[in-house]
Structure 1
Amino acid sequence: MDVHQINQHLALRLVDLDDAEGLFTLTNTNRDYLKQWLPWLNGTKRVEDTRAFIHKAKLAYDDQKGMTFVILWKEKIVGVISYNSIDWTNKIAYIGYWLSAAVQGNGIMTKSTKFLTDYAFSHLNMNRVEIAAAVENKKSRAIPERLGFQLEGIRREAEWLYDHYVDHAIYGMLKREWDTKKKKME
């Protein structure tokens, strides 16, 4: 699955080295916004840093340990969504994402996360999908909540964010729960 067209304006495509400049520009444009919640911005100061990230993402894909997609909205890169890791032994996919502030409010991330959740269950044969978000990051937390994920708990001081720790809200969805939700949506 290299490209998946979700609707007329929205598609997911596996990240490629050709995306480095566009993805770096998007990161740089959204740097202050993203720094509120993501710990890797200080390590992404040049296009070469983004190339290194993409190279690592492609290796994870080749090793079947992760899948990273650029989010295309009206054919422009507006964010990233991924299986940050895939635990084949326990059949768990861990989803992470970020989106440009300029395009939020269009349902882009909810639709993208819905697609990756469904793909994890229907194509990767996962039993569980997990999403972690900083407790105070209400926009990020709204995605799994909108999709019916269960809030399973709070992981205290789960991530070092530049000069302080943040707690993470942990959301989970099981395959049997997703199958039930899908039937109700049809």
Structure 2
Amino acid sequence: MFLFEIDEEIALKHLEITDAAPLFRLTDKSRDTLRQWLSWVDYTKTPEDSKAFIESVLKQFADRRGLSTGILYHGELAGVTGFNLFDWTNGIGHIGYWLGTDYEGKGIMTRAVSGLVDYAFYSLELNRIEIRAAYANHKSRAIPERLGFVQEGKIRHAEWLYDHYADHVVYGMLAHEWKNRER
């Protein structure tokens, strides 16, 4: 099992089948906020849907294609972050994340993503991390901006969100930039 302690408040852990019910409750409670930016929310209708998601990300991890983790805040499931995709040939990890609305405004996601980037560059020895966020999703975009990622461009109509297309902003960080930055 993957367990990565970020600090005294936050840890990242593999999602397990036993997390299906808490994950569903967190999703359901945050549904209105999450739906603005995540296309899968309306398809998550029952704890069984969360279980199917967990099964898919466990397979993805076993196949070395990704790593999805639950964000634990004081031991409670607060959100999800991880690598939606690994490109091992080119040394790239693509990070995604979401946080339950009750946990916003505590610096949780910034610290979780920072720890994930450390893990990627120091343990996995990746060369590049990419984060994409919807152009109008200022909270999501604030994470890579706070962490010093470079805004590399904008992809028009990158994602269909229920009734409209959303543009994405692409952020990148290279291993040598992360390791040489001032903390």
Q: Distance in 1 between matches of 2:97 and 2:112?
A: 9
Letter in 1 for 2:117: T
1:11, CA displacement in angstroms? 1.0
- After TM superposition, the structure 1 = structure 2 runs for residues 100-139 of structure 1, keeping only pairs within 5 Å, are 100-139=100-139
TM value normalised by structure 1:
0.96
1:124-175 deviation line (CA, Å, top 9, x unaligned)? 1111000000000000000000000000000000000000000000000001
Structure 1 match to 2:69: 69
Identity, in percent, stands at: 49
What SS does the corresponding residue of 2:167 show, helix, strand or coil? strand
Cα separation, 1, equivalents of 2:115 and 2:176 = 16
Tell me how many residue pairs correspond in the alignment.
183
Q: State the secondary structure of the residue aligned to 2:145.
A: helix
**Secondary structure at 2:154's aligned position in 1?**
strand
Structure 1 gap segments, 5+ residues each:
none
Q: Does 1:2 align with 2:2?
A: yes
**Does 2:135 match 1:140?**
no
Structure 2 stretches lacking a partner, 5+ long:
none
Per-residue CA deviations over 1:34-72 (Å, capped at 9, x if unaligned) read 001000011110111111100000001001100010001
Cα distance in 1 for residues equivalent to 2:108 and 2:51: 24
Moved over 6 A (4+): none
Alignment of 1:11-160 (within 5 A): 11-160=11-160
SS in 2 for 1:80: strand
CA RMSD of aligned residues (A): 0.8
Which AA in structure 2 matches 1:41?
A: V
- Report the Cα distance in structure 1 between the residues aligned to 2:133 and 2:44, rounded to whole angstroms: 21
Q: 2:105, 2:172 → 1: CA distance?
A: 23
